[in-house]
Amino acid sequence: MHRAGAELTAAAGLKVHSPLFAPPMQNRDHPSKAISEMRRRLPVGAEIQPAGGAHFRVWAPSSTKVAVLLEEAAIELNAERGGYFSGFVSGARPGMTYRYQLDHGAFPDPASRVQPEGPHGPSGLVDPGEFKWTDASWQGLTRENQVIYELHIGTFTPEGTWTAATEQLAELADLGITVIEVMPVADFPGRHGWGYDGVNLFAPTRLYGGPDDFRAFVDRAHALGLGVILDVVYNHLGPDGNYYTQFSPDYFSKRHHCEWGDALNFDGENSLPVRELFIANAGYWIDEYHLDGLRLDATQQVFDDSEEHVLAAIGRRAREAGRGKGIYLVAENETQNACLIRPLERGGHGLDAMWNDDFHHSALVAMTGRNEAYYTDYKGSPQEFISSAKWGCLYQGQIYKWQKARRGTACLDLQPDNFVTFIQNHDQVANSLWGRRIHQVTSASRLRAMTALLLLGPGTPMLFQGQEFAASTPFFYFADHTPELAAAVARGRAEFLAQFPSIASPEATALLADPSLEDTFRRSKLDFADRVRHADIYLMHRDLLRLRKSDPFFGKAPRGAYDGAVLGESALVLRFFGRHQDDRLIVVNLDKDMHLNPAPEPLLAPPDGHVWQVLWSSEDPRYGGGGTPQIESDEDNWHLPAQTAVVLTPIPYAAHAHA
């Protein structure tokens, strides 16, 4: 211990002890094996101990000595093999702040559990055992029968806090949501941001409240029957507030290139401590915050040539942390690599589901008629929706003109709920000139019809915050950076959106919202008065989700238990097969009125002795629709109203004849 450090330690009443671990590490390739007593929850970081005090451990191979700067004390840590330093400090308490003093400066903890002043400030000591959970009976999530709701804590409510969001959970549960997907919360610099440039993997941002406010959000969700999963970013770290290279340059790869910054080092020299950190982070959120799973951002940019891919290890650790509770793991993957969601025993990574961008792109083209930029390879045709319902992704290895390459991998063997379907998400709303919601760029009747196909289709549907009540507020890209970085981000954003010819002109580009402005962030906040102003569309979402939950077919049919057919240039039918003449039809017509006479399509034929009756219609006047005429009759055969979706159920012909 440095002399000055010893004097400060004595003044503060602190005492340094030997590490809790075994003697210095014998196997530098497997640093986690050094731990002999699992009084630690994580391999690194500062952890309050049951009998008091805190144990500190950090990987800092670039330094010859490391000390903890705890409040007014400097306490030198003991060196372990493999570049680790550790030590126990009695008198350390929750709420205290600290930094690590390295050879070349003092920096926050890479595994800090809280950053009270943000990423550039000191780290804080947290005792996760202080929160009193009430969810002991909660069993977690399975892949089946879920409805996801994506939200951003900072804009979901006017207050932008965990506490305010908690007050809205009962409304979401009553709507029919089963899973809340929270956009990233790892702390980042500035006053606002999406969270995808986080730099403190273990520290929920101070912008939304304290760690226990996050825990209270999860605890309340579980009490209401809602699961909570967290969007995590394991493909890069943000550029501002990123101190990892101060501890070791080996956090980042020299072999791989990421689109958004330095690629993380999961397979190169000294990569095992890096792998260990990220794998531990996946378990941390489930262990200390009782989360029910993770949404893994942009997994195509997670590079790893190891024998076991880090994503498979992350998934396994997450499930271990659940301790028997069901854990739900969803991947975003632009290349649509089905390996992610195949079981480990079949050579996959063992995740549960993958975002289906193809469904979104087809839906947007069908609703708007525009197929520029990355919508180029979609027609929005009935066959695309049938193929998506039956087989998941539309591109499973075919040529994709926009990228001038093949897109996707075969996934014909997977189940419908392996795919998350949506017609809005944070990216797709913001990837436009005005940040407009889909209801603002298509007709109300087309939107109602497409929403029915989304919420009653066989995939796992996801809504983006405010979609259920046609939010009048836009959703922009926003990020509060230093002036130099903010200017670079704004340029990069404009360059990305320039792939859309409609936005590429100087006149349009000049109208793009500045991501750094407080006003851009503020305008993206939901206005819950829209629930009343747009009560008709809100009611429709509620009714559809109740139908999905109560009906034996919708959202529950395995592959092979339904089929589909094209009925015309803009119309299709999906038929779900029952065992007792109780089939269901979803008939969707996205364009003008259509008269099918004749109607030589077997999927339209009712079960023997039955006729079809309308169970639900998107043109119900309660939803703002214009009413639904008779769909099938002996006199007129089939009449498909314009821009309408109907659900049909069979009734005995005799009952129909006497009606």
Q: How confident is the model at residue 155 (pLDDT cuts 50, 70, 90)?
A: very high
Q: How confident is the model at residue 34 (pLDDT cuts 50, 70, 90)?
A: very low
pLDDT digits (tens, 9 = 90+) for 538-578: 999 999 999 999 999 999 999 999 999 999 999 999 999 99
Q: What angle do CA 466, 467, 469 make, to 5 degrees?
A: 70
**pLDDT for the residue numbered 225:** 98
Out of 150, 332, 384, 468, which one is annotated catalytic? 332
133-156: b (≥16 Cβ within 10 Å) or e: eeeeebebbebeebbbbbbbbbbb
Based on the number of CB atoms within 10 Å of its own CB, is 627 exposed (0-12), middle (13-18) or buried (19 or more)?
exposed
Out of 262, 297, 384, 583, which one is annotated catalytic? 297
**Residues 463-474, mean pLDDT to the nearest whole number:** 98
Amino acid at 12: A
Share of the chain above pLDDT 70, in %: 93
The pTM for the full model equals: 0.94
Active site residue 507: no
pLDDT digits (tens, 9 = 90+) for 598-639: 999 999 999 999 999 999 999 999 999 999 999 998 888 999
**pLDDT for the residue numbered 657:** 59
Amino acid at 517: L
Stated as kind and residue range, the H or E segment containing 90 is: strand 84-90
Structure tokens at 427: 């990216």
- 3-state DSSP percent of the chain in helix, strand and coil, to 5: 30, 20, 45
pLDDT digits (tens, 9 = 90+) for 196-231: 999 999 999 999 999 999 999 999 999 999 999 999
pLDDT for 521 beyond 50: yes
Q: Which domains does the chain have, with CATH numbers?
A: 3-130 (2.60.40.10), 559-657 (2.60.40.1180)
**pLDDT for the residue numbered 608:** 93
Q: What angle do CA 451, 401, 429 make, to 5 degrees?
A: 35
HEC profile for 444-507? HHHHHHHHHHHHHCCCEEEEECCHHHCCCCCCCCCECCCHHHHHHHHHHHHHHHCCCHHHHCHH
Helix (H, G, I), strand (E, B) or coil at 382: helix
Q: How confident is the model at residue 6 (pLDDT cuts 50, 70, 90)?
A: very low
Handedness of CA 255, 102, 27, 348 (dihedral sign): negative
Distance CA 274, CA 635 (A): 71
Rounded to 5 degrees, φ, ψ at 563 are: -150, 170
Distance CA 444, CA 433 (A): 21
Active site residue 297: yes
Distance CA 583, CA 568 (A): 22
pLDDT for 29 beyond 80: no
pLDDT for 135 beyond 70: yes
Compute the mean pLDDT over every residue in the chain, rounded to the nearest whole number: 93
**Residues 445-473, mean pLDDT to the nearest whole number:** 98
Q: How confident is the model at residue 26 (pLDDT cuts 50, 70, 90)?
A: very low
Q: For 560-566, which contacts have Cβ atoms below 8 Å and span 24 or more sequence positions?
A: 562/389, 562/390, 562/458, 563/390, 563/603, 564/385, 564/386, 564/389, 564/390, 564/603, 565/386, 565/601, 565/603, 565/604, 566/381, 566/382, 566/383, 566/386
**pLDDT for the residue numbered 653:** 84
pLDDT digits (tens, 9 = 90+) for 274-327: 999 999 999 999 999 999 999 999 999 999 999 999 999 999 999 999 999 999
Please say whether the beta carbons of 107 and 247 come within 8 A: yes
Distance CA 511, CA 534 (A): 28
